[in-house]
Structure 1
Amino acid sequence: MKITAVQGSELLLLEPELLTDSRGSFAEAWRESLLNAQAKHPVHFVQESFSVSAQYVLRGLHYQLDQPQAKLIRVISGEIFDVAVDLRPDSASFGQHYGLTLKARDRQMLFVPAGFAHGFQVLSAEAEVQYKVSAYYDAPSDRALLWNDPQLGIRWPFPTQAVLSEKDKRAPALAQAELFKHGL
């Protein structure tokens, strides 16, 4: 498995090595020991979820304040523009965002450390996205950050066509958002 940093950040792109023969192909999707050898902080995933979304749906930017989640994102079908925003006040990259396209056919996965808000917009007719997370979902801790906050400057592929939940439409901008405590 090849693991590389995304744009010089703590985000990691995992690329499984595909073994192919006349029957088809096989790959190890991820291995905890390999990921932890590259991640700044060790991670152990406790829950896996998935979403199915239509084209232009924009989910995010989401995070859990009291129970921060590291995430491993994989596109099972379709294509998304995936974004992570550093919300750790003591980080040198606080408030910076990182975006990249993830496609099911490339079989890449994105590791997002705890302390980041995460979201994506669907580029294909439909996309199924799978998430491994390091902390259980905790509704009282659930937060969102405004997806089109000018301070963040995220260049979403289809901003005028974005289909959003009411929660995401009402999310606060970075300047008003509840942030993680120091030392995350």
Structure 2
Amino acid sequence: MRYAISYDRGAWYPVPTGFPTAEWADVAEWREGLIADFEEDTGSLDDDARDAVRELADTARAAHNPRASEVLLFCPRRLLEFGIASVYCGTFEDVAAMLGRPVTESLDELVRDDAAEIPPVVVPFETAELGEGRRAAIVLADEDGRAEGAFNYVFRRDDHLVFVTAVADRIGAGAIMLPFVDELVRGIRLEPDDAVPVPAQHEGIAS
């Protein structure tokens, strides 16, 4: 199966697994690209602000799961709220390996997170491309014990899964991040390998 994802570059910035990519030669160029995006939307940054954006980029790289199909930094330039979204597409076995844990055929079970501080709220979530899946609102704790807002999404297409997890930098940012993640998920397609490709910002193979 082939997956494709379309998203708003005003809210999301891709976090590559490695370099070079089609857009950036190396990590330094990728960091400067994020600075350029901020300056395009907010105006020229001073040295301290530039350093803060570089630190944000480094934090995103450190949080990157190299097994994910796609990782995106949530960084709407004028809101100054941050988070990370990771997309996993593949067979049940692929997604289990990507997540590093077993997966079940129950979407209600798969969308949950054992690390949740309180029982998650699970609701149906449907997109035109993926059909009906599940979305879970989850409260996690970071390594310092601070609460974080997170959202998991899962969809099944034949023997393939699409699993998305998004974590906000702080619990209060979760409410701001949620509609952006919903739209991100609506931009994911999973198609047969022999389907005519539809132009998108990113395409890849879900084994």
Q: TM-score range by the shorter chain?
A: under 0.3
Name which one, 1 or 2, has greater alpha-carbon Rg: 2
Between structures 1 and 2, the one with greater helix share: 2
Question: What TM-score comes out, normalization by structure 1 length?
Answer: 0.27
Between structures 1 and 2, the one with greater strand share: 1
